[in-house]
Amino acid sequence: MSATRLPKKDVVIIGLGWTGSIMACELARMGLDVVAIERGPWRDTASDYNIGTAPDELRYAIRQDIFLRTAQTTDTARNTPDQVALPMRKWGSYLPGNGVGGAGVHWNGHTWRFFPSDFRLRSHYTERYGANFIPEDMTIQDYPVSYDELEPHYDFFEKVCGISGKAGNIRGAIQEGGNPFEGWRSDEYPTRPLKPNLAQIMFQKAAAEVGMHPFPLPSANISEAYTNLYGVRMAPCTYCGFCEWFGCANYSKSSPQTCVLPALVRLPNFEARTLCEVTRINKTPDGKMASGVTYVDSSGREWEQPAEMVLLCAYSTFNVRLLMLSQMGTQYDPVSNTGTLGRNYAYQTNAGCLGYWDKDTNFNSFAGAGSLGMMADDFNGDNFDHTGLGFVGGANINCTTTNARPISSRPVPPGTPRWGTQWKKATAETYGHTQSVGSQGSSMAYRDVYLDLDPTYKDRVGNPLMRMTFDFKENDLKMSRFIVDRTEEVMKAMGAKQIVKTYKRGPWSVVPYQTTHNTGGAVMSATPDKGVVNRYTQHWDVPNLFVAGACLFPQNAGYNPTGTVGALTYWALDAIKNQYLRNPGQALVQA
């Protein structure tokens, strides 16, 4: 069956999540004719996340209601290149979003800026610790864009989201109560920090006692009513504890729905086609440009949407897969060390410890928010001397109160039976009297960690699934062990009567949830031999194709990716609006 060809559009956007809706809004406001093609359903706060139905742990957290169905597409996974990968039939380690808003609907809302040194990681480590400090198989590299260049775009994204926080460095002046290690900021956060719960107050005191510099977690669950630059309004967070894996019913969590879509859908030159899955980015006959996309609708009909520009804005791993399926770029091969597409996949290295308190210490953990937390960055990035430590990277240390939902939140002391009367008794005694101190660690890139197309498994329309070859490497595990020991020090100072410390261990398993911070695979680079797109996120080989998302990261930092994803999106838009559209079809960086 051949695809029906539709009239040409100025811009076709693949995926209507954070990056897609921002791109659509900015370009449609310029008057371009924009269509967004979204694999999942239309979703809005009123009908999909309303307060009457939103706080349903069984439906959303356990049965994963708003995530992609693996029957539609999934990934295969293995730890090492000599293994046979198998498809994930139930999401576990990470949870790809689905539908309008994408993963921007169900995230917790930690909204970070990477450190200035993160953008020149290889150069920074080499300069400070010598050329031999970085292991040979570690393929980390500098971003082709600097923190200073991204700063205005970080600032703008934070103002679109209404992020709640406390600045630590405004144009070089260190601010009391903020993060003294952060890169310079041109402005304070748009809204004040969330109100701390008992755990955050205890952590703040304890962290300072052990010499750290605590500060409130920059939060996309916002503390006060806010109207953003698009005229979209948000209401204060109510600390309901149904944040991560849920849509927000109170218009309090920054998401495409709460920050962009109400302005976007009013524009008559914008159109969204939902339940339509893009299967190919098409090329012009000479192979030099993208001619549009082919997609399948919910009836199984195939359509071709021609466009002057294609913006690839799906989830990071699906962006990489679509480039592979469309044969745009050269597949990375770890043996010959050639090609760039699929190279430098990275993840996140999280671990920490759990403390138990007596009954008189009541944390009221149910009164939480996805980003209600107190942090310390003393051991993140290169904020501490790595000499003699034997690892690259670091982690943020966090004390968060996100929820204590009834099904999953059952912390019991070690040795408690897994079910029965004793388990119930321990649950009742422990609930509300435990608190974790965690860490979110960097994940470096390695020669034999990568993405490619699976040779065996295909999706419902016959396209190969993407294969993920990943394991936690000793550098990152060593870093994490060092950090977990630091979390234990804070926990002791907080006065826990018992501490259970959990080091990160390999091999990576797809089963327990870890984090949906999959990065890399379509990396941005200074030269075409090191990545898929140039510094403006424009494809090295296809100048009218731009790529968004965490797939651009050369490696992952000790932070959630969303803030940097947002900043890179506005950075790319700046280049598209002020350079590319003045001379369309031209490469913005000469290879």
Partner 1 sequence: MMRNTLLAAGIATVAIATAGPARADVDNFTEVARGRYLVTTGDCMGCHIGPDGTSLAGGHLLETPFGMIAVPNITPDNETGIGKWSQQDFHGAMTRGVRPDGTHLYPAFPYTAFTRMTRKDIDDVYAYLRTLEPVNHAVDRDTLPFPFNVRMAMLGWNWLNFTPGEFRPDPNKSGEFNRGAYLVEGPGHCGLCHTPRNMLGGDQGGKHLEGGALQGWFAPNITADKRVGIGAWSQAEIVDYLRDGHTERGAASGPMAEVVTYSTSQMTEADLKAMATYLLERGAAAEPAPTVIAGSDARVQKGAAIYDDTCAACHVGDGSGVAGMFPRLRDNQLVRQADPTGVLRVILQGAQSASSPRMVTAPSMPALGWRLDDQQVADVATFIRNSWGNAAAAVTPDQVRAMREVTAGVASPAEH
Q: Which residues contact 52 (CB under 8 A, 6 or more apart)?
A: none
CB of 108 to partner 1, least distance (A): 19
Instruction: State how beta strands 302-312 and 4-5 pair.
Output: parallel
CB of 237 to partner 1, least distance (A): 10
CB of 44 to partner 1, least distance (A): 7
Nearer to partner 1, 250 or 279 (CB): 250
Measured from the Cβ of residue 203, the count of other Cβ atoms closer than 10 Å reads 28
Q: Is 517 designated active site?
A: yes
CB of 2 to partner 1, least distance (A): 16
CB of 252 to partner 1, least distance (A): 9
SS3 307: strand
* Residue linked to tokens 């969590």: 253
Could you tell me which of 358, 346, 313 has the C-alpha nearest to residue 100? 313
Nearer to partner 1, 186 or 227 (CB): 227
Nearer to partner 1, 7 or 172 (CB): 7
Could you tell me which of 556, 206, 240 has the C-alpha nearest to residue 372? 240
CB of 265 to partner 1, least distance (A): 6
SS3 483: helix
Binding site for partner 1 (CB under 8 A): 6, 42, 44-48, 50-53, 225, 227, 230-236, 238, 240, 249-251, 258, 262-263, 265-266, 271-274, 297, 303
Helices (H), 198-272: 198-209, 256-259, 261-264
- Sign of the torsion angle spanned by Cα atoms 141, 147, 149, 151: positive
HEC string of 54-121? CCCHHHHHHCCCCECCCCCCCEEEECCCCCCCEECCCCCCCCCECCCCCHHHHCCCECCCCCHHHHHH
Nearer to partner 1, 3 or 500 (CB): 3
CB of 158 to partner 1, least distance (A): 19
Instruction: State how beta strands 233-234 and 434-441 pair.
Output: unpaired
What DSSP assignment string belongs to 324-384? HHTT-S-B-BTTTTB--BTTT-B--EEEEEEEE--TT----TTS--TT-EEEE-TTSTTSS
Nearer to partner 1, 177 or 236 (CB): 236
Q: Exactly one of 110, 153, 213, 517 is catalytic; which is it?
A: 517
- The secondary element (H helix, E strand) that includes residue 455 is strand 450-458
CB of 110 to partner 1, least distance (A): 22
SS3 306: strand
Nearer to partner 1, 230 or 391 (CB): 230
533, 572 Cβ separation under 8 angstroms: no
CB of 243 to partner 1, least distance (A): 13
Please state the length of the chain: 591
Instruction: State how beta strands 173-174 and 215-216 pair.
Output: unpaired
Nearer to partner 1, 207 or 232 (CB): 232
Angle between helices 474-494 and 198-209 (to 10 degrees): 100
Structure tokens of 245? 């894996």
DSSP state letter for 132: G
Angstrom distances, CA of residue 6 to CA of 179, 294, 313, 567, 581: 51, 10, 21, 33, 23
CB of 230 to partner 1, least distance (A): 7
Alpha-carbon span 27 to 458, nearest angstrom? 35
Nearer to partner 1, 250 or 348 (CB): 250
Alpha-carbon span 321 to 316, nearest angstrom? 9
Angle, CA of 401, 403 and 407, to the nearest 5°: 145
Nearer to partner 1, 113 or 273 (CB): 273
Catalytic residues: 517
